[in-house]
Structure 1
Amino acid sequence: MVSSTGGVALDERTAVRARKRTSRRTVSAGAAFLCVLLAGVASGCRQSGVADGHSPFTGKAARAAPVLAVKIDNVRPARPQTGLDSADIVYVERVESGLSRLLAVYSSRLPSTVGPVRSARESDLELLRQFGTPAFAYSGTQAKLEPVVEAAPLYPLPAGKAGGAYFRNQDRAAPHNLYLRPERALKAAQGASNARDIGFRFGAAPPGGRNTPSYTARYPAARFSFDWSAERRGWLVSMDGAPVRAASGQRLAVPTVVVQGVRIRSSRYHDRWGAYSPYTETTGSGAARVLRDGKAYDAHWSRSTPDGGTDFTTSSGAPLNFAPGQVWVVFVPEKAVSGRAG
């Protein structure tokens, strides 16, 4: 019987999405198996990114493991965050009112807790497609965006849908008190893709570059500073002038920071007051600045399709190697990285 609410139609759409996801997982698994079979013949086959025992996200030793992306709050009442130091990649995105949010990607290591967790945005879906079918943890979305997230090639894990993976921290005020237990979250996304090549290359630094003891990237209502520490062999991260620290109290030091110039436009969705969310375009090409080893390198980035990774090259067109370890990618307006590093 077809109900007046269209329940049967909804069930059919759900079944179609399930069949599509099963098909994607089958194709992905088959490709990974083929890579293993051909590993001794075709050295360029790196579907999982860890055939040689190293993570495609950090360049460091790692086991094959699924990808979990978590949307993390970044306004002042949400700090200090928990679990950032364990992320393989941290993306910095601009949101409403010129503020920022973080999208942390985990695979090599899973902390016991991550948060505070906040809501997803439309541009997250384009960014996450390069990871295959990752698990995606977020607090929720606005109503019109929810079916778009549900239909995307990922495992959506909003609060209430991840088998007890979320909890409220009683020491924080809402909405900055929602936290995630990553291991529990991944149990609700059994088919999530393992880490795979997304374009990052690791190795010796390219020639050139400019000595850069400090670099700051700015949004209208947020700023991120990176100060080189020779002792830590990384960039000490500050947000709005305050040091970012791990749970141990030690300052977060990042080996590689990518400041990527992108087009930031209005998305299709807005809040109840009519304010449109920014949409960060992560496909296409443009200028970037790569910080590593105390230097800044002018770079070019290119990502031709949402399903593909991002290539970073030098002015000569050679791949621009990152330093092994955690990578931060800060999306800024295109004009913010025009001209040479200095």
Structure 2
Amino acid sequence: MDTLRARRQGRGGRIAALLSAAALLVGLAACSDPAPRPEPTAPPTAAPRTSYFTGLPGRNGPVLAVKIDNVRPARPHTGLGAADIVYVEPVEAGLTRLLAVYSTELPPRIGPVRSARESDLELLRQFDRPALAYSGAQSALLPLIEAAPLVGLPPGRAPDAYVRSGDRPAPHNLYLRPEAALTAAGDVGAASDIGFRFGPAPAEGGRPVTEHTVRYPSARYAFTWSEADRGWRVAMDGTPASTTDDGRLAPATVVVQYTEVRPSRFGDRWGNASPYPETVGSGRALVLRDGQGYDARWERATAEGGTVFTDAAGERLDFAPGQVWVVLAEA
């Protein structure tokens, strides 16, 4: 019996020792710091999108080009301050019209809208299948518009996108509702690289410019640098240019693009040939930004390609971020 009791006591002692050791390990584990958990990683932040047309943060949305009237009864314009790019084009009788390009934002209304010209088709080839809103065209030009790589949007094709205003006489009172226009257009290409570059002003090559005037036979544009606006205040035919919705027009960059202007194959109802400013080729230009003028060269090798602007050394010339006006003037 003593031997059995001794064996049991020995076995019990070993069991007690094992239980004590296990309890000690549990206690140590409870007292120790828990294993660190990995810190949650923040989702990657998408880089802000930059507009190809303005160099500012913004979307590169569908491209909508609008042909805008520019005789005195058509002013002040509406929605022009929201355009990314404004092209000034010569037309009949020494006058001009505007081709405004929108992608970053769409104002509620744009206008007044007028008729298209043959030169619009070549100019717009550098954009990827844009929509073109216009009020009409010379009948012989209509098949070319239909065949061009764009979506033509005259009132007959998109009646819900147009409205007449009662505050001025026709034909200077037709306005576009751009959201409705793009809905009617359907498949329209988004903004892409057309050759513009944006950045700080070049350290060399500029000269101080406070005002620059571009003259046409029956029209005149003056661009005056405004430090307060950080842009070039526009005057048309001696009158400050403003809009009904955005106030004074003051683009950040003005490009005077000197080009050959030849007669178009098409003309107006009185038989006058429309001017055709060539936008494929090369020539000289004047780039106005930040109160400085820079002599430049422009080159566009093909109609599908963009327009490259370079300085005297052949380096790409940066524009000031913001709205860009391109004034097509005869060389």
Residue aligning to 1:269 = 266
Contact 1:71/1:118 (<8 A) preserved: yes
Larger Rg: 2
Give the aligned partner of residue 94 of structure 2. Answer: 98
| Counterpart check, 1:144 vs 2:133 | no
For residues 274-295 of structure 1, what are the alpha-carbon distances to aligned partners after superposition, in whole Å with 9 as ceiling and x for unaligned?
2101111100000000000001
Q: Give structure 2 stretches of 5+ with no counterpart.
A: 1-45
1:134 aligns with 2:125: no
User: Residue 173 of structure 2 aligns with which residue?
Assistant: 177
Contact 1:98 1:221 in 2 (8 A): yes
Deviation at 1:254, TM superposition (A): 1.0
> What amino acid sits opposite 1:64 in the alignment?
N
Instruction: Give the drift of 1:245.
Output: 1.2
Q: In the aligned structure 1, how far is the partner of 2:285 from the partner of 2:128?
A: 24
State, as a whole percentage, how many aligned pairs show the same letter: 63
**Partner of residue 165, structure 1:** 161
* Among 210, 214, 223, the residue aligned to 1:213: 210
TM-score normalized by structure 2?
0.84
Q: Give the distance between the partners of 2:327 and 2:318, measured in 1 at CA.
A: 17
CA distance in 2, matches of 1:131, 1:97: 29
Alignment of 1:226-265 (within 5 A): 226-248=223-245, 250-265=247-262
Cα distance between partner residues in 1 of 2:47 and 2:101: 20
Q: Evaluate the alpha carbon distance shift between residue 248 and residue 162 of structure 1 in structure 2; reply closer, same or farther with a 3 A threshold.
A: closer
Question: 1:324 maps to which residue?
Answer: 321
Once the 2 structures are TM-superposed, how far is the Cα of residue 267 of structure 1 from its aligned partner? 0.4
How far the C-alpha of 1:159 sits from its partner, in A, is 1.2
- Residue 200 of structure 1 corresponds to 196
SS of 1:297's partner is strand
Question: Which residue is 2:42 aligned to?
Answer: none
The aligned residue for residue 55 of structure 1 is 51
What does residue 103 of structure 2 align with? 107
Question: In 2, Cα distance between the equivalents of 1:76 and 1:270?
Answer: 21
**TM-score (normalizing by structure 1):** 0.82
Correspondence for 1:28:
none
Shift in alpha-carbon separation, 1:183–1:126, aligned structure 2, 3 A: same
Partners of 1:163 and 1:184 within 8 A in 2: no
Name the residue aligned to 1:87: 83
Q: CA RMSD in A?
A: 1.3
Check the 8 A contact 1:130/1:309 in 2, yes or no: yes
Cα deviation for residue 249 of structure 1 reads 6.1
- TM-superposed CA distance for 1:63, in Å, is 1.7
Q: Which amino acid aligns with 1:222?
A: A
Counterpart residue type for residue 262 of structure 2: R
1:303 lines up with 2:293 in the alignment: no
Change (3 A) 1:75 1:307: same
Relative to 1, partners in 2 of residues 1:248 and 1:165: Cα closer, same or farther, differing over 3 Å?
A: closer
CA distance in 1 between partners of 2:230 and 2:270 (Å): 45
Q: Is the 8 A contact 2:65 2:102 kept in 1?
A: yes
Separation (CA, whole Å) in 2 of partners of 1:249 and 1:122: 30
2:66 paired with 1:78: no
Match of 1:15 in 2: none
Distance 2:266 2:295 in 1: 34
> 1:28-47 to 2 correspondence within 5 Å?
none
1:169–1:137 CA distance, 2 compared to 1 (3 A): same
Could you tell me which residue of structure 1 aligns to residue 115 of structure 2? 119
- 1:47 equivalent in structure 2: none
Q: Post-superposition shift, 1:272?
A: 3.2
| Structure 1 contact 163–188 (Cα < 8 Å) conserved | no
2:309 matched to 1:289?
A: no
Listed one character per residue, the Cα deviations across residues 41-70 of structure 1 (whole Å, up to 9, x for unaligned) are xxxxxxxxx985000000001123100000
Contact between 2:54 and 2:321, CA under 8 Å: does it hold in 1? yes
Bigger shift: 146-155 or 270-279?
A: 270-279
1:313 is matched with which residue: 306, 310, 316?
A: 310
Contact 1:303–1:309 (CA under 8 A) maintained in structure 2: yes
Tell me, yes or no, if the aligned pair for 2:79 and 2:246 is still in contact at 8 Å: no
| 1:164 match: secondary structure | helix
| Residue of structure 2 in register with 1:69 after alignment | 65
Letter in 1 for 2:326: V
For 1:281 and 1:274, locate their aligned partners in 2 and report how far apart those are by CA, in whole Å. 21
Query: C-alpha separation between the residues in 2 aligned to 1:188 and 1:260?
Result: 33
Using the alignment, how far apart are the partners of 1:145 and 1:113 within structure 2? Answer: 27
Long gaps (5+) in structure 1: 1-49, 335-342
CA shift for structure 1 position 189: 1.4
Q: Is the 8 A contact 2:78 2:245 kept in 1?
A: no
